[in-house]
Amino acid sequence: MLKDSPLGKNNPLRKNNPLRKNWLSRTTLLSLMFLILILFASASHTLAHRVVLFAYVEGDMVYTESYFGDGKKCQNARIEVYDSLGNKLLEGKTDKEGEFSFKPPTREDLRIVLTASMGHRDEYVIPEGELPGGTEGRTRGSEPHKAVGNVLPSEKGWKEEAPSSQLSRLEMEQIRVVVEEALDEKLKPIMRLLGKQQKESFSFIGVIGGVGFIFGIMGIILYFKSRRGRDLKVPLDGS
């Protein structure tokens, strides 16, 4: 007999359907939310939808790399280079690896702008100090020799024992160039890594923070709503 009656336990709470339903729905909602959160957050280690451009200087060339947040290379995207006044210096398209390189035409802050498909865009600024030193500068090629050659005649007029010091200066210059080239080569991967990390911003904390923020807003709305329910006579204008 006891087994037959569903209300055998005669617990008043059992029959209280509205409360039970309410409680159930809240747990379902909460668990759904956590399910969504955990599933989504664990499924995605990468940024999905933005484009990243970074650039570095090696030798007398500027190299740029570009990729979407999920690691796909931006192929055939437009690259434009502007000087500090906003004049366009040159433009080009990225290759299959999402790379583009150019020789900087002037020695000043260069703003490189990438425009990819579907309204994606990113910028990278190379400060003047990182650029190879155009005409008065340090780099390879005949320029240092020329510079030395220009100075020499005037010096020769003053001092006769120039050759030895001239030789050492030339040697110094060459050593400097060679060392700088070697350093550039060695530092290249590190520069790339640093450039990438500087741009990387995805974080699990960001996801948690954002979701927390949304629920914080919800709390604020509910708080004001509950207050408004209590005293309706509070004037709404803040003056």
Partner 1 sequence: MHISEGVLSAPVLVTGAALTAAGCGIGLKKLDYDKVPQVAILTSAFFVASLIHVPIGPFSVHLVLNGLMGLLLGWPAFPAILIALFLQALLFQFGGITSLGVNTFNMALPAIFCFYLFRYAVKGRNDLISMGAAFACGFFGILMASFMVAISLVFTGDPFLGIAKVVVIAHLPVMVIEGLITLFSAGFLRKLKPELLEVAHAKR
Taking CB under 8 A as the criterion, the residue among 33, 61, 125, 183 binding partner 1 is: 33
Taking CB under 8 A as the criterion, the residue among 14, 15, 20, 121 binding partner 1 is: 121
Tokens 């530092």 identify what position?
Answer: 187
**CA 183 vs CA 122, 129, 137, 157, 188: distances in Å:** 29, 16, 17, 38, 8
Q: Is 9 exposed, middle or buried (0-12, 13-18, 19+ CB in 10 A)?
A: exposed
Q: Which two tokens stand for residue 65?
A: 């790399």
Amino acid at site 232? L
Residue 54: enclosing H or E segment and its boundaries? Answer: strand 51-58
Least distance CB 174 / partner 1 (angstroms): 44
Q: Identify which of residues 163 and 213 has a Cβ nearer to partner 1 in the complex.
A: 213
Least distance CB 96 / partner 1 (angstroms): 11
The region of 11-19, 46-54, 150-158, 187-195 touching partner 1 under the rule CB under 8 A is 46-54
Binding footprint of partner 1 on the chain (CB under 8 A): 25, 28-29, 32-33, 36-37, 40-41, 43-44, 46-51, 68-70, 72, 75, 113, 115, 117-123, 201-203, 206-207, 209-211, 213-215, 217-218, 221-222, 225
